[in-house]
């Protein structure tokens, strides 16, 4: 029953950070989402008699005063935060009852200071801790190297303008210069829906290095489809030509890091180490343990950066590094004359393997 699944999705461990790891543990969050999505699926079957359907509503879903758009279909849930760069903060794939955006942004914790003080040491108290709240073992060497912090929420469809000197290491550590003002700002929207087809346009007039630029990003969805089309259009609103390094960031958590690989035309590898390549038009994220392949493609060759996001958190056995998902950045360098625009189309498709 839907109520049974809902109640199983209310197990408290994954909702807070206690000495057992809590919400820092992806497998706990995954289990919660799985029950909640299964509960929703049962309600969907009661509410919708037709096999393929689509709904779109606006509300403050996050309960923080933000404007959220919720797109629900028989295949996906896509949740947008208009006040955080028009980003997607949840992407539920209903046939597998999984939130593919169940990743985690890196944030400061007070106990990180203890880890920094103990760089180069692996101190284990052989007499045992006084209580579970006093465990301070380092479960591996070099944890301090993973103490990076994100100044924005790492979700998907985030719009970057990078400084020329930016490299993958600086971007991965969130120590780079952002030249645009789009990441955590508000986007306006318009939408049109014809039956089981939806077109959502998100747009913002912002600036890059003080020069006015407009971004339009249009998302097209069909009910019953496992594909999503995203079209970007950049407008140079200034009176001068602009050289831009534009990037679109996605963050995904396939849960199974060792059962997942990133495969492109000239870029292949696992998710434990950073990957980068130029002039790519097609990439696959193969999640073997889920029997899924996420195909992503662009109609214009793009540079690709892919790297893991690790957090360092406190657990019952000590401080540990936890894989929280992977960041994938597609980026293009372009020169845009005054009054001109530039377009690119991205396609995402989920396939069963």
In this predicted model, what pLDDT tens digit does every residue of 244-269 receive, in sequence order? 999 999 999 988 888 899 888 777 88
Neighbours of 233 (CB within 10 A): 15
Output the pLDDT for position 317: 81
Question: Across the strands, what pairs with 161?
Answer: 246
Output the pLDDT for position 21: 82
| Domain boundary assignment for the chain | 1-47, 50-352
Give 301-349 pLDDT, tens digit per residue: 999 999 999 999 988 888 999 999 999 999 999 999 999 999 999 999 9
Whether the per-residue pLDDT at 227 is higher than 90: the answer is yes
| The domain made up of 50-352 is a member of CATH 2.70.98.10 | yes
CB neighbour class for 247 (10 Å; exposed up to 12, middle 13-18, buried from 19): buried
**Residues sharing a CB contact under 8 Å with residue 192, sequence separation 6 or more, in sequence order:** 198, 199
Whether the per-residue pLDDT at 93 is higher than 90: the answer is yes
Integer Cα distance of 236 and 242 in angstroms: 7
Confidence of residue 1 (pLDDT cuts 50, 70, 90): confident
Length of the chain: 353
Confidence of residue 351 (pLDDT cuts 50, 70, 90): confident
Confidence of residue 123 (pLDDT cuts 50, 70, 90): very low
Confidence of residue 141 (pLDDT cuts 50, 70, 90): confident
Could you identify the residue written with the tokens 């790492």?
154
* 94 contacts 74 by C-beta, under 8 angstroms: yes
Whether the per-residue pLDDT at 182 is higher than 50: the answer is yes
65 conformational bin, left if phi > 0, alpha if psi -120 to 50, beta if neither? left
β-pairing, 275-287 vs 292-315, is antiparallel
Structure tokens at 74: 């028989």
């Amino acid at each position: 029953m839907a109520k049974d699944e809902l109640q199983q999705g209310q197990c408290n461990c994954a909702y807070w950070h206690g000495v057992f790891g809590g919400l820092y543990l992806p497998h706990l969050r995954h289990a919660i989402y799985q029950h909640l999505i299964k509960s929703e699926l049962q309600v969907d079957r009661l509410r919708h008699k037709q096999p393929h359907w689509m709904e779109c509503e606006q509300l403050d879903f996050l309960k923080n005063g933000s404007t959220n758009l919720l797109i629900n279909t028989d295949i996906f849930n896509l949740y947008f935060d208009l006040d955080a760069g028009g980003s997607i903060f949840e992407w539920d794939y209903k046939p597998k009852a999984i939130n593919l955006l169940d990743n985690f942004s890196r944030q400061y914790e007070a106990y990180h200071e203890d880890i920094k003080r103990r760089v180069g040491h692996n101190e284990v108290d052989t007499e045992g801790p006084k209580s579970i709240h006093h465990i301070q073992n380092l479960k591996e060497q070099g944890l301090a190297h993973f103490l990076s912090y994100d100044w924005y929420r790492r979700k998907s469809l985030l719009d970057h303008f990078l400084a020329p000197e930016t490299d993958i290491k600086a971007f991965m550590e969130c120590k780079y210069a952002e030249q645009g003002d789009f990441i955590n700002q508000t986007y306006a929207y318009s939408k049109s829906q014809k039956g089981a087809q939806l077109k959502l346009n998100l747009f913002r007039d912002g600036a890059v290095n003080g020069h006015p630029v407009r971004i339009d990003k249009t998302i097209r969805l069909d009910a019953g489809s496992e594909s999503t089309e995203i079209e970007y259009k950049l407008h140079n609103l200034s009176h001068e030509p602009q050289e831009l390094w534009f990037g679109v960031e996605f963050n995904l958590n396939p849960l199974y890091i060792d059962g997942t690989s990133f495969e492109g035309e000239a870029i292949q590898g696992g998710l434990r180490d950073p990957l980068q390549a130029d002039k790519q038009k097609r990439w696959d994220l193969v999640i073997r343990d889920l029997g899924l392949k996420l195909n992503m493609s662009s109609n214009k060759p793009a540079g690709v950066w892919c790297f893991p996001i690790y957090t360092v958190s406190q657990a019952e056995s000590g401080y540990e590094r936890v894989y929280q998902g992977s960041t994938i950045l597609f980026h293009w360098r372009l020169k845009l004359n005054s009054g001109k625009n530039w377009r690119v189309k991205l396609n995402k498709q989920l396939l069963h393997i």
